[in-house]
C-alpha cells in the first residue's frame, strides 16, 4: 500500500509537470507582414515625435538657461552697484569719523584752555591776595609790637590812677565808671 501511494504520487507529479510546460507556451496570434510594417511605422513616427519633443524641450531648457544666465548677470551687476554704493557709504562714514575725531580734539583743546584759564585765575587771585595782605600784615605786626611795648606803660598808668583815686574822689568815680577800679 505504501508503494502504491508513492507510485500514484509520482504519476500525479509527472502529469502536473507535463501540463505546466504545455501551458507555458502560448500560441501567438497570426500577424501579417503588413501589420508588422504598420506597427513599425507607427513606432518610428512615435520615436520621431518623441525626438522632436525632446529637441523642443532641449531648446526650451537652453532658452531658460540663457534667461537664467542673463538674470544672474543682471543680479551680478546690481550687486556690483550695491558694492560701489557700500564703498561710497564706507568712505562717507570714514569722513564722518575723521570729522568727529577733529571735533573731539577741538573740544579737548577748549576744555584744556578753560582749565588753564581757571587755574591761572585762581593762581592770580591767590598771588594778588598775598601781595595785598603782606603790607597789611606788616602794619598789624607793627601795631601789635607797639601795643606790646606800650602795655607796660598802660598798666603803670592805670596803677597810678588807682593810687590817685585813693585821694581824689573824681578820679575814683571815673575809674569805677569804666570798671578799672
Q: Give me the torsion for CA of 84, 88, 93, 96, rounded to 10°.
A: 170
Full domain range(s) for residue 96? 34-177
Q: Which three cell numbers stand for residue 45?
A: 513616427
CA 132, CA 74: separation in Å to the nearest integer?
Answer: 85
Is residue 174 a contact partner of residue 158, using CB atoms and an 8 Å limit? no
| 18 assigned to some structural domain | no
CA 117, CA 111: separation in Å to the nearest integer?
Answer: 10
Is residue 175 a contact partner of residue 165, using CB atoms and an 8 Å limit? yes
Q: How far is CA 77 from CA 37, 70, 71, 88, in A?
A: 59, 11, 10, 16
Q: What is the pTM of this model?
A: 0.38
Instruction: State the total domains in the chain.
Output: 1
Average pLDDT in the 177-181 region? 82
What per-residue confidence (pLDDT) applies to 165? 86
Q: pLDDT of 107-117, one tens digit each? A: 999 999 999 99
| 25 assigned to some structural domain | no
| 78 assigned to some structural domain | yes
CA 114, CA 108: separation in Å to the nearest integer?
Answer: 10
Average pLDDT in the 138-143 region? 88
- Quickly state the pLDDT bin for 30 (edges 50, 70, 90): confident
What per-residue confidence (pLDDT) applies to 28? 59
| 150 assigned to some structural domain | yes
Decide if pLDDT at 81 tops 90: yes
Amino acid at each position: 500500500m505504501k508503494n502504491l501511494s508513492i507510485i500514484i504520487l509520482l504519476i500525479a507529479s509527472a502529469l502536473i509537470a507535463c501540463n505546466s510546460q504545455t501551458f507555458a507556451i502560448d500560441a501567438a496570434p497570426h500577424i501579417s507582414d503588413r501589420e508588422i510594417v504598420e506597427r513599425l511605422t507607427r513606432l518610428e513616427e512615435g520615436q520621431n515625435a518623441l525626438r522632436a519633443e525632446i529637441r523642443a524641450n532641449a531648446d526650451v531648457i537652453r532658452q531658460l538657461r540663457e534667461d537664467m544666465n542673463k538674470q544672474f548677470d543682471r543680479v551680478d551687476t546690481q550687486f556690483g552697484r550695491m558694492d560701489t554704493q557700500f564703498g561710497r557709504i564706507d568712505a562717507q562714514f570714514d569722513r564722518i569719523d575723521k570729522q568727529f575725531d577733529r571735533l573731539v580734539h577741538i573740544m579737548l583743546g577748549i576744555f584744556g584752555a578753560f582749565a588753564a584759564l581757571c587755574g591761572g585765575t585762581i593762581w592770580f587771585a591767590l598771588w594778588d591776595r598775598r601781595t595785598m595782605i603782606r603790607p597789611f600784615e606788616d602794619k598789624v605786626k607793627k601795631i601789635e609790637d607797639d601795643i606790646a611795648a606800650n602795655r607796660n606803660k598802660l598798666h603803670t598808668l592805670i596803677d597810678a590812677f588807682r593810687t590817685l583815686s585813693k585821694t581824689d574822689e573824681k578820679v575814683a568815680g571815673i575809674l569805677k565808671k569804666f570798671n578799672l577800679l
